[in-house]
Structure 1
Amino acid sequence: MYKYYRILIFIALFTTINSFSQKKTLEANFNAKGIVIDGRPDDTGWTENKNIASNFIMFDPDNGKPISENKKTEVKVSYDNDAIYILATLYDDEPNKIQREITNRDVFGVSDHFSVNINGYNDSQQDFRFYVSAAGVQMDCIATEAEEDYSWDAIWDSKVAITNYGWVVEMKIPYAALRFSRAEKQVWGINFKREIKRDIQTYTWNHVDTKIGAVLTQAGILEGIENIKPPTRLFFIPYTSTYYQQDDITSDRTFKAGLDIKYGINDSFTLDAILIPDFGQTKFDNAILYLDPFEQKLEENRPFFTEGTNLFNIGNLFYSRRIGGFPSREPTVSDSEQITEYPSTVNLLNAVKVSGRTENGLGIGFLNAVTKKTYATIEGTTVDSFNNQQQTSRKEVIEPLANYNLIVLDQRFNGNSSVSFVNANTTRNGDFRDANASALVFDLSTKANTYNLYGDFKYSTVNDIENYDGFKTALNFAKTSGQYRYTVSGKYISSNYDINDLGLVFYTNYHNALVNGSYRILNPTKYFNTFKIEQELNLELQNTTGKMQEGWYKTLIKARTKKNHYMEFALVLNPFETYDFYEPRVAGRYLQIPKRLSSYFGMEFNRNNAFTFDFTPSIAVYDQDDRITYGLAVGPKYRFNDKFSLYFVMDYSKRKNDRGWVGFDDTGIVIGQRDREILQNDLTGKYAINKKMTINLTARYYWSYSDNKRFWSLQDDGTVVADPTFNLNKNRNFNSFNADLSYSWWFAPGSELSILYRNYSQESANVVERNISQNLKNLFGTNQTNILSISVRYFIDYNRLKN
């Protein structure tokens, strides 16, 4: 008898495990009687639909645990000739505790959420994900295994209702927002997710095993959709905007109008074009006191270059701020001339991109942009034969008409692997610099997503006064599943590898080896919901000299407690002297960097609480002349209610006896020993009038100084000796202030009215001022720039116009 019990137990256990690992299937019903999106489940189209997706399974934190009866979730799917409809009934035994903060679109906030992931080709390559919060706010993205792109925005409808048994979500997703084949019978990949914010739990319909590194391969199946046709995807977004700018010297009025076009070339590919671009209301760049040997890397805030660009990021050859960025040449000036006008940016004339993925998994991306010829103004004096002085003025081209071109081919297969080719080209008119960079990238995973092999080979060419080429190659092998995981990687970059005409690279001419091992818990313990510890060894050697450019051992611990507090700790040991080949600003020279130990500890208290707080102290100790760096970042946030919240961040750091390049003299390269302080304060405020209307405040004050106490002459071996003859003032004191106050109203699907008031100013001097109040007085005593702008964008769907 005991033998039969064991057999029965084994069968039951196998059935349970198998039910988690197999794909669930849901049948969609044809909606012949109409569904009104009002958050009510009593339409005939729903009551007659008996196909229900239920039995959700916990994704996080206790992966694999079935959902409780008092939180059961039931989902139905219907369709018609225009759209797919989803009804989700989310039971909750305490509906008054459902979290529902109102946020801007694509901002999750402190809310419960329901989402659907749809893959129209069922190929595990790319999801279209649609989220709705319990406050009715929409979020959407295009997702691959590598990233979620929330800059993509679709036009779809949803409605939420809070009930005495939980809450209800209705969604209508037009076929124009999806991609699928023209097959008579459709088979889609689908999964549903529910997040219960106060319990810190998420559940999925089809079980997603976190022991496996891939998520897209673990979706369920949607069947029953028949005889639908992909619609014409043609959208026009005309805009008009007006600006009034005023400072202490002058004022200016500007009016702009333009058009964005989105066109579905076929079932898979979309063309995006901007005619007469306007980026006047994009977020401001953070001005800082920048003393590093490289250019400052800036975030991309222009919508065209952030929306739907996941394909273009493959291979890391594309840095979109190159397009319309800083001019590429400085004018030639005689002793009697000076540059009176030098534009800091180049105007964009137009841009177009085509992207998509075929049903066979081939992703194709094409981006082209053209920038305007740009001039600098140079004024001077000349003396004629009668010794009379005359004023002269001339213009010189500092950036010609330029074309930027990017092509990406990304073939995905087996649901988790890909091989990609990328080519980035910059062509400038005339005798200006041209460049090209190509990359072959592969990312291969085993069928069970247990191991991964990733690598690339990149080749760059530059045509300038001197032509040169270079290459970069890397190979990485990783175990990507289970409690214990590891990565082994190597990389080689030649000295002339240069992708900086359309990409961004700082460090070249080195090779490295890296080993990383990690352990994580897969299910909650007594104290932690999640816990991970990593150990990493990295070694970088400069190719020409063989000297160590980097060498560290790092321990990193990340954990989230049962009460949803997040902690992160890192300890980095650099036990060897290393060499900086970039700080001296002269090829072939280098500065010795001493041994050092650095660490930080970050604590973020439960974000679900009305008042929350985070702080991160950090320190780095150098084996050199009382050299030390320490800092503290703190960030209190208070959510007054579901509409109004304020978030303040103060980030402070002090670098004592720091060393860096300051200039040149007769002895050669001069290194300054300096104290530096950096203080940045950010204030973010949000008031949501409703889910379509918000008022937002973003304010930033930044102050930093560099105070040189002594100067050194850099020696050939990277060490320094005192340079008593250098006496130039190389101190810096820099203040910057920005404030944006905006009102946004989504008055129709995809259509927005935006009003923005912007104020900014900055002040720079070579006299260090350590008093904050005096710095603020100096800053606000300078020329303040004020801008008021109003912009209206209106979304037009060709299908509605046609009907």
Structure 2
Amino acid sequence: MSKLHFTTLFILIFFSFEIYSQKKTLQAKSTSENITIDGKVNERIWGSAAIAADFIMFEPDNGKPISSDKKTEVKVLYDNDAIYISALLYDNEPDKIQKELTNRDVFGVSDHFSVYINGFNDGQQDFRFFVSAAGVQMDCLATEDYEDFSWDAIWDSEVTITEFGWAVEMKIPYAALRFSKANKQTWGLNFMREIKRDVQKYTWNRIDTKIGAIIPQAGILEGIENIKPPTRLFLIPYTSAYYQESDIGSDRTFKAGLDLKYGINDSFTLDAILVPDFGQTKFDNAILNLLPFEQRFEENRPFFTEGTDLFSKGSLFYSRRIGGAPSTEPTITEQEEITNYPSTVNLINAIKISGRTEKGLGIGFLNAVTEKTKATILNAANGEVRKEVIEPLTNYNMFVLDQRFNQNSSITLVNANTTRNGEFRDANVSALLFDLNTKANTYNLYGDFKYNTINTIQDYDGFKTEIGFEKTSGKYRYGFSGKYVSENYDVNDLGINFYSNYHNAYAHGSYRIVNPTKVFNTFRINEYINFEVDNTSKKLQTGAFGTEIKARTLDNDTVELLLEFSPFETFDFYEPREYGKYVFVPEKIITIFNFTSNDNNPFTIIVQPAFTKYNEKGRNTYGFYLGPKYRFNDKFSLAYAAEYTKMNNDRGWVDFDDSGVVFAERNREILQNDLIGKYSLNNKMTINLTARYYWSYSKNHDFFTLQNSGYLTPNNSYTLNKDRNFNSWNFDLSYSWWFAPGSEISILYRSYGLERTRVVEKDLSKNIKNIFNSDLTNVFSISIRYFIDYNSVKNKF
């Protein structure tokens, strides 16, 4: 090859790389004209604004330019209050545009347009705003590993279906964003269009799926100058009324309170709740829990879900601790019994401050106070009644410093503190985290060190540390990590952690396609190995090899397969419920298969069989999940889910006796049925139905005594009945109307019941009859929340 040819080739390669890596830039245009958000894009000023076009496919065929009959044109205007976005989304078959009506933040079967805004252009966090072709809004705060759709901003949008496709207009107030104080703004910006019937997504600035990070691959928005954002002060007063009725009697409750959001400056926001009311939050899915650990519940209270990405750093914050179950039980004599033990502790108030500076420093502060709670105790011998404190006045505090740099890396300091009044247990946990990525987002080094101090009857402390390395780009990826957890590692006062006193080694390698083949639209296979060893006994508690496969076919059906082999004898250090004890767990094989049909079809279905085989005679577990859904039209849909699990010759702890720790061999069955219905009157008014019936039993047939070796020997003298039969019923029928931005009227009818017994009833019809003949509680409630923007009030007066 001649020098000229070599130089030419080098230049072509170099410039092709530059073209590939170049970020698109869009100029925002200033306007003094009043922009009406009606989806018609007919104001004169739009005609002179710069156009963002030439969208590129994000998935499945990454890098493919959008076709001319699907061209997309986006423009941006701004004034002192907000930025305005218009989008013309061309479609050669507008009658095929998907536009299902859903609740807010539910994507559904719809085409979507979205804008991703990073006000600091630091490649770290997006404010994302979506609108569907049905006019439904969705929004979230997004980092590379977290999308918080519980965050709800106040912004306007309208869409229209046209002869050429559909059109969008959006108004996003500066109060919904965070950016620097610079006179000339430079923001990270990207637009995304989803064509649902083709299961395709396109972005304005190309996102290369060979690279692990998405946010740093945004384009640039320039042109916003000399803006003076208004004061960010929002008041959300609410009032609610409840009527509750059961066999015990009836009760009427009226509540009123206030949520407050205040922009301390351009970067930080104060959120506070006064006289909290969580009566209309989703019910918890209670189960028959025979594990040595508490059941972990999802958080449904808006204050603890909105904008909490900073507080999730280090996994030290389990918000259900705040206002959850009391931390102690009363001490009683043989003559006494507990007649009233509150299941939850009342929250008095809570505040949080969060935000990020122009230099990438994220600061989060959360404080909550719960009230003193007492149990009632009756002395059966003399009839005396006394009360004992089971949870004192308690203060919960979270503090987070998260410094981001190089657009893709961070170092984080977290502190979680629980202080209880009086002589009750106090706890403090601190953590240092790091997440470092190469400039090209090809490799990642991460790790942490966490240290806890517990002040109780006998003080103790513990720690946990982990380090890991991963290749995060390309078709072939791999990673490995190791961790050490000390015996007294305990974060359970404000966090949740089940396992301690072990060290671990983990490694994985994966292959994926980044463009469709003749068989698959997407395909990924991952191989992993995982070993955990108890620190004290040096015995293996986990030893597994696994294969995970996930693929989407050309018909956009999804297929998943998990195969996990545990070919070693392992030991469970938690099931015995006694310090220093452990129980043998035989070798096993786990198989899980999942098929999910293309959700563009009116009828969709999820099928998931699972099977676990132990190297022990007659011991196995099999389960089956079936989830059909039918979308009658864009307004009405019904979904049903049935989940069944059968455990044959399962073994678990049941009691303590003179011989020591007692285990039982038992048969178990679990059945759960869910019915979910949705009828949307329009994009702001919805009727929702959620019903759940859960039944489970545990029938013991043989008993054993746990030996110091970890193995079981028969116990023929144990005769107590430790069988369990558990029935649970929940029913919610609700009406929601977003009658103004950020303002909602909600009407809820709720019915629920719970039955626990030692008598196992295997006849399903009798179980259903028993739960409906039990003391069902019925609640009817109305709640009104009204959003008040200080600036709107100020302008009116």
TM-score by length of 2: 0.98
Task: State the shift of 1:378 in Å.
Answer: 1.1
Separation in structure 2 between the aligned mates of residue 720 and residue 359 of structure 1, nearest angstrom: 61
Q: In the alignment, residue 717 of structure 2 is paired with which amino acid?
A: T
**Residue 764 of structure 1, CA deviation:** 1.4
Equivalent positions of 1:432-451 (< 5 A) are 432-451=424-443
Give the secondary-structure state (helix, strand or coil) at the position aligned to 2:166. strand
Partner of 2:617: 625
Partner SS state of residue 288, structure 2 = coil
Distance between the aligned counterparts of 2:405 and 2:31, measured in 1? 34
Deviation by residue 1:425-465 (Cα, 9 ceiling, x = unmatched):
00000010000000000000000001000000000010000
Matches within 5 A, 1:461-476: 461-476=453-468
CA contact (8 A) 1:41 1:47 kept: no
Aligned to 2:383, the other structure's residue is in SS state: strand
The CA RMSD over aligned residues, in Å, is 1.5
Offset from partner CA, 1:379-408 (integer Å, 9 cap, x none): 1156xxxxxxx4211111111100000000
Equivalent of residue 686 in structure 1, options 678, 698, 722: 678
Equivalent AA in structure 2 for residue 133 of structure 1: S
Match of 1:144 in 2: 143
Give 1:48 shift. 2.6
Do 1:32 and 1:45's aligned partners in 2 also have CA atoms closer than 8 Å? no
Q: What amino acid is the match of 1:288?
A: I
Q: What residue is the counterpart of 2:660 in the other structure?
A: 668
Correspondence for 2:231: 232
Task: State whether structure 2 residue 386 is matched by structure 1 residue 394.
Answer: yes
TM-superposed CA distance for 1:184, in Å, is 1.1
Q: Which of 748, 753, 759 is 2:751 aligned to?
A: 759
Structure 1 counterpart SS, 2:768:
helix
Instruction: Determine the structure 2 residue equivalent to 1:460.
Output: 452
1:40: which partner in 2?
40
Q: In the TM superposition, what are the counterparts of 1:94-113 in structure 2 within 5 Å?
A: 94-113=93-112
Matched ranges for 1:96-245 at <5 A: 96-245=95-244
SS at match of 1:135: coil
Residues 305-324 of structure 1: matches in 2 within 5 Å? 305-324=304-323
Q: Does 1:718 align with 2:747?
A: no
Instruction: Give the Å deviation of 1:35.
Output: 1.7
Inter-partner Cα distance in structure 1 for 2:550 and 2:592:
12
* Counterpart-to-counterpart distance in 1, 2:2 and 2:54: 32
Equivalent residue number for residue 91 of structure 2: 92
**1:17 CA drift (Å):** 5.3
Equivalent residue of 2:458, what SS? coil
Question: For the Cα contact (< 8 Å) 1:120–1:178, is it kept in 2?
Answer: yes
Amino acid corresponding to residue 617 of structure 1 in structure 2: P
Q: Is the 8 A contact 1:182 1:229 kept in 2?
A: no
Which amino acid in 1 is paired with 2:226? N
Q: Give secondary structure in 2 for the equivalent of 1:198.
A: helix
What is the distance in 1 between the residues matched to 2:432 and 2:303? 26
Matches of 2:436 and 2:191, distance apart in 1: 27
Task: Say whether 1:28 aligns with 2:20.
Answer: no
Q: 1:2: Cα distance to partner?
A: 12
CA distance in 1, matches of 2:287, 2:609: 21
Q: Structure 1: how far apart are the matches of 2:122 and 2:41? A: 32
User: Residues 626-641 of structure 1: matches in 2 within 5 Å?
Assistant: 626-641=618-633
Query: What is the Cα deviation at residue 229 of structure 1?
Result: 1.7
Give 1:547-696 correspondences, 5 Å limit.
Answer: 547-696=539-688
Kept in 1, the 8 Å contact 2:337–2:380? The answer is no
Structure 1 runs of 4+ aligned residues shifted over 4 Å read 1-17
1:598-618 per-position Cα deviation (integer Å, ceiling 9, x unaligned): 111100000111000110000
The answer on whether the counterparts of 1:671 and 1:713 sit within 8 Å (CA) in structure 2 is: yes
User: Structure 2 matches for 1:452-531, cutoff 5 A?
Assistant: 452-531=444-523
Amino acid corresponding to residue 789 of structure 2 in structure 1: D
- Equivalent residue runs for 1:695-734 within 5 Å: 695-734=687-726
Opposite residue 793 of structure 2, the aligned amino acid is L
The aligned counterpart of 1:270 is 269
User: For the residues of structure 2 that align with 1:12 and 1:200, how far apart are their CA atoms?
Assistant: 34
Q: Which amino acid aligns with 2:37?
A: I
Distance 1:55 1:6, change over 3 A: farther
Residue deviations 1:113-150, cap 9 Å, x none? 00001111111111111101000000011111111111
Which residue in the other structure is 1:748 paired with?
A: 740
Q: Match for 1:427 among 419, 422, 438? A: 419
Between the aligned partners of 2:779 and 2:32, the Cα distance in structure 1 is 53
Q: Distance in 2 between matches of 1:644 and 1:14?
A: 54
Flag structure 2 segments of 5+ consecutive residues without an equivalent.
none
**Secondary structure of the structure 1 residue equivalent to 2:209:** coil
Amino acid across the alignment from 1:187: T
2:227 counterpart SS class: coil
**SS of the counterpart of 1:20?**
helix
What is the alpha-carbon distance in structure 1 between the residues aligned to residue 501 and residue 2 of structure 2? 70
- Residue identity matched to 1:513: A
Give the whole-Å Cα distance in 2 for the aligned partners of 1:40 and 1:343: 56
Preserved CA contact (<8 Å) 1:476 1:488: yes
Q: Deviations over 1:56-76 (max 9, x none)?
A: 000000111111000000111
- 1:32-57 deviation per Cα after TM superposition (whole angstroms, max 9, x unaligned): 222211111221111232x1100000
Deviation of 1:16 after TM superposition, in Å, equals 5.6
Deviation (angstroms), 1:18: 3.6
Secondary structure of 2:69's counterpart equals helix
Instruction: Give the drift of 1:537.
Output: 0.5
Structure 2 SS opposite 1:501: coil
Deviation at 1:242, TM superposition (A): 0.3
- Structure 1: 5+ residue runs without aligned partners? 383-389
CA distance in 2, matches of 1:16, 1:54: 20
Match of 1:326 in 2: 325
Q: Is the 8 A contact 1:20 1:64 kept in 2?
A: no
Query: Is 1:405 the counterpart of 2:397 in the alignment?
Result: yes
Structure 1 contact 217–415 (Cα < 8 Å) conserved: yes
Show CA shifts across 1:218-253 (max 9, x none).
110111111102221100000000000000120000
Alignment-mate amino acid for residue 233 of structure 1: R
The Cα shift of 1:560 comes to 0.5
Correspondence for 1:255: 254
Contact between 2:80 and 2:229, CA under 8 Å: does it hold in 1? Answer: no
| Alignment match, 2:278 | 279
Quote how far apart the aligned CAs of 1:647 are: 0.8
Please give the per-residue CA displacement for 1:667-716, whole angstroms capped at 9, x wherever unaligned.
11111000000000111110000000000000000000000011011111
The answer on whether the counterparts of 1:34 and 1:45 sit within 8 Å (CA) in structure 2 is no
Matched positions, count: 795
Look up the equivalent residue of 1:415 and give its one-letter code.
Q
How far does the alpha carbon of each residue in 1:398-427 deviate from its partner, in whole angstroms, 9 at most, with x for none? 111000000000000000000000000000
Distance 1:188 1:287 in 2: 45
| Cα distance in 1, alignment partners of residues 33 and 383 from structure 2 | 81
Correspondence for 2:288 = 289
C-alpha distance after superposition, 1:330-377 (max 9, x if no partner):
112122221111101100000000000001000000000000000111
For 1:7 and 1:161, the matched residues in 2 are separated by 53
Tell me, yes or no, if the aligned pair for 1:180 and 1:230 is still in contact at 8 Å: no
Residues in 2 aligned to 1:500 and 1:381: alpha-carbon distance in whole angstroms: 35
Query: How far did residue 205 of structure 1 move?
Result: 0.4
One-letter amino acid matched to 1:38: D
Identity of aligned residues (%): 67
Q: Is the 8 A contact 1:182 1:230 kept in 2?
A: no
Per the TM alignment, residue 20 of structure 1 is displaced from its structure 2 partner at its CA by 3.4
What one-letter code is carried by the residue in structure 1 that aligns with 2:591?
S
Secondary structure, counterpart of 1:140 in structure 2: strand
Contact 2:54 2:71 in 1 (8 A): yes
Distance 2:391 2:122 in 1: 45
Give the secondary-structure state (helix, strand or coil) at the position aligned to 1:439: strand
| Equivalent-residue separation in structure 2 for 1:682 and 1:8 (angstroms) | 65
